[in-house]
Chains A and B, each alone.
Chain A
Amino acid sequence: MSTGKPSANAISGSHPFAARRSMNQLTNKLFTGIVWLIGICTILFIIALLYTILQKGLPQLDWGFLYGEPSEIEEGGGIGPVLFNSFYVLFISLIISIPLGMASGIYLAEFAPANKFIAFIRICVEGLASVPSIIFGLFGIVLFVESLDLGLTVIGAAISLAFLNLPVLTRVTEEAIRSVPQEMKQASFALGSTHLQTIRRVLIPVALNGIITGICLVAGRAFGESAVIILTGGVTSSGVMWDFNPLDPGATLAVHLWYVQSEAIVPDARLIAEKSAAVLVFIVLMINIVFRVPMWLNARKMR
């Protein structure tokens, strides 16, 4: 990396490295320009993308659409039951996966001795995190549709989704708890707390920010997940609002978006799809923003 010596009054003509230096300056300027151009273009593109989705759908929303029942043939179908299913499936899957994921994360962060068995568990968690979502769908079919003979149900979809969430929650919890300063833990032990008391009263409250961010991430992902639900929950819903029966078919909003756009025969499919996409993106953004903003503010205050 030998370039010309920078001197205040370099006489460019006679300097032996002059040609190379001006070349270097040129590539540097070119590089900066290209990076700025591509950076700005991509960011504008992404913002335009989000804007398009929201702008096409949101202004046309009304309660009738959000609350109404989907129709197979006629115009004007709503998304009420599928929207409800989305939350219902998400809720059940989180109820199952949060305790399990947190417990295994705590184990990996706190109890696990550094031996081969733990290294193995850790590889398993990472491996499970990288398994494509459709595989969880196939697994759900074998488990719920074939072995238990339940058919396509809300509960099958929710449990398959919980399996998908588990490794992410485990890793997030582990990392959050590991990042708690050792002094806090030692102080708690020094006061005579047991390990469980330390975990409950010190580690989890301090790591809560990280854990909640992780849960939001997982919830947003689960809310928009469709491949798993198509295979285990089906593409139809029971068609009525407030149907809490976990053995009814469990199509969610994300599945409905795909179904309406590619399979259904309703004349206003495009419109329904646009509105559904807007609702979907809006809710996912809300899940991410509403829980995180207070934390950002908190983090700022702490500094």
Chain B
Amino acid sequence: MSMMEVPNLGTVYSGEELGRSLEGSSGKAFSRRARLSFYNRTFKIVCIASAVFVCLILFSILLLMGRTGILTFETVSLKTFFFSTEWVPENEQYGAFIFIFGTIALTLLTMVISVPLSLIIAIFLSEMTPAWLKNALRPVLDLLVGIPSVVYGFLGMTVLIPMLRSVTGTTLGDGILAAAIVLTIMVLPTISRITDDSIVAVPKKFRDASYALGSTRFQTVVRVVIPAAKSGIMYAVILGMARALGETMAVVMVIGNTPQLADALFKPTSVLTSNIVMQIPNVPFDSAWNYALYMMGFILLVISLIMIVVVRAIQGRGVKS
């Protein structure tokens, strides 16, 4: 209730009439308030619908891939598909072991090369370089993440493989090592930038305490900073791993695309992604061959989703501690 006395000037309007007269003059069918709340509700519903839509895409992908892939096992036994090394679609032999093994071997080899290197670059960026160099290098690394994978593949094919041939003296440069080097160049910016960020996020007092105890920089970095940034580093590594696992075009161009077991560094082989992209355009949709390729895609999908669950677990632990 207001304390003010409203001077009564002749005509008395009740509150309801006042509302009517305003509506009448604005000429709208319904009041501004109703309109605003209508917009608000509609907007909220649109937002919810889009969020649900994103989930829907994931599930329809899972469903379609799984449903198409599972048809493989009508003609091929589970054991043959996962453990046979015979991939001869012309003879109805669908053993995917070579590709599964190739993918795992390639991802591990890439990680073995790229993780130490990225870690060193991250330390270099966060702990050693002067500020002006940091400001110059970080955007460059960010830009590198955006270079298309075909370009890396093209470079690998035209620059790296001839180089590998002349350095090692082998006749064939294609293979798992060439692919791992190309993938290393691709995931390096990703891993080192995220690691760099997590190292920068380590509180300065940790370093101060370590230096105050008389440690050298080496000791500080190895025993204090890196353990403190551990969860961020793990996150970076898994992200890089997911990228290496799913990378297609760069790998296709350097791996040789031959279905044989990757038991040597220089031996044309094939991985899940490269095999799918090389074969699927020429395969009729309703064939065991195609179903087998979809099953291989489904395996990739499941592995990458498992990685995300692991990442979530790491992040959850990081938040708690």
Contacts and interface: CB of A to CB of B under 8 A. Distances in A.
B280 A281 contact: no
Contacts of B51: 103-104, 107-108, 112, 121, 170
A25 B216 contact: yes
B148 A254 contact: yes
A34 B124 CA distance: 10
A6 B214 contact: yes
Interface of B: 36-37, 39-40, 43-44, 46-55, 57-61, 64-65, 68, 117, 120-121, 123-125, 128-129, 137, 140, 142-151, 153-155, 157-159, 185, 188, 210, 213-219, 221, 223, 242, 245-249, 252-253, 273, 276-277, 280-281, 285, 293-294, 297, 300-301, 304-305, 307-309, 311-312
Interface string A185-225: 00000000011110100000000000000000100110111
CB-CB nearest 9 A-B residue pairs: A224-B148, A132-B246, A39-B124, A107-B47, A28-B216, A103-B50, A104-B51, A227-B248, A104-B50
Nearest to B52: A121
A37 B129 CA distance: 12
A277 interface: yes
B277 A230 contact: yes
A153 B36 CA distance: 42
A84 to B, nearest CB: 17
B36 A134 contact: no
11 contacts: A3-B213, A30-B218, A32-B218, A110-B47, A141-B285, A163-B57, A195-B43, A224-B146, A231-B280, A231-B281, A257-B151
B300 A135 contact: yes
A223 B223 CA distance: 43
A167 B53 CA distance: 11
B61 to A, nearest CB: 5
B121 A3 contact: no
Given A131-B61, A166-B54, A277-B154, A138 B147 contact: no
Contacts, number: 265
Nearest to A213: B142
Interface in A88-115: 99-101, 103-104, 106-108, 110-112
A261 B57 contact: no
Contacts of A199: 43
Given A30-B218, A39-B125, A224-B149, 13 more contacts: A24-B218, A27-B218, A39-B129, A52-B159, A132-B246, A139-B61, A142-B64, A195-B43, A254-B150, A255-B150, A273-B154, A277-B154, A284-B148
Nearest to A38: B120
Nearest to A163: B57
Given A134-B300, A217-B146, A224-B146, A5 B214 contact: yes
Contacts of A120: 55
Contact of B121 (A38, A136, A137, A194): A38
B50 A52 contact: no
Nearest to A259: B150
B62 to A, nearest CB: 9
A135 B301 CA distance: 7
Contact of A32 (B121, B157, B217): B217
A124 B55 contact: yes
Contacts of A163: 57
Interface residues of A, number: 97
B57 A270 contact: no
Contact of B312 (A123, A197, A254): A123
Contacts of B155: 49, 52-53, 277
Contacts of A18: none
A266 interface: no
Nearest to B273: A134
A71 interface: no
A55 interface: no
Interface SS of chain A: helix, strand, loop or mixed?
helix
A91 B37 CA distance: 33
B301 A106 contact: no
A110 to B, nearest CB: 8
A138 B57 contact: no
A176 B39 CA distance: 23
Contacts of B219: 1, 3, 24, 28
Given A106-B47, A135-B301, A261 B157 contact: yes
A135 B215 CA distance: 49
B240 to A, nearest CB: 12
A258 to B, nearest CB: 5
B124 A103 contact: no
B176 to A, nearest CB: 18
A42 interface: yes
Interface in A114-146: 120-121, 123-128, 130-139, 141-143, 145-146
Contacts of B276: 134, 138
A36 interface: yes
A134 B246 contact: yes
Contact of B294 (A125, A138, A166): A138
A261 B50 contact: no
A111 to B, nearest CB: 6
A124 B58 contact: yes
Contacts of A106: 47
Nearest to A24: B216
Contacts of B154: 257-258, 261, 273, 277
Contacts of A100: 50, 53-54
Contacts of A103: 46-47, 49-51
A61 interface: no
Contact of B148 (A139, A142, A280): A280
B54 A128 contact: yes
Given A36-B128, A141-B280, A226 B150 contact: yes
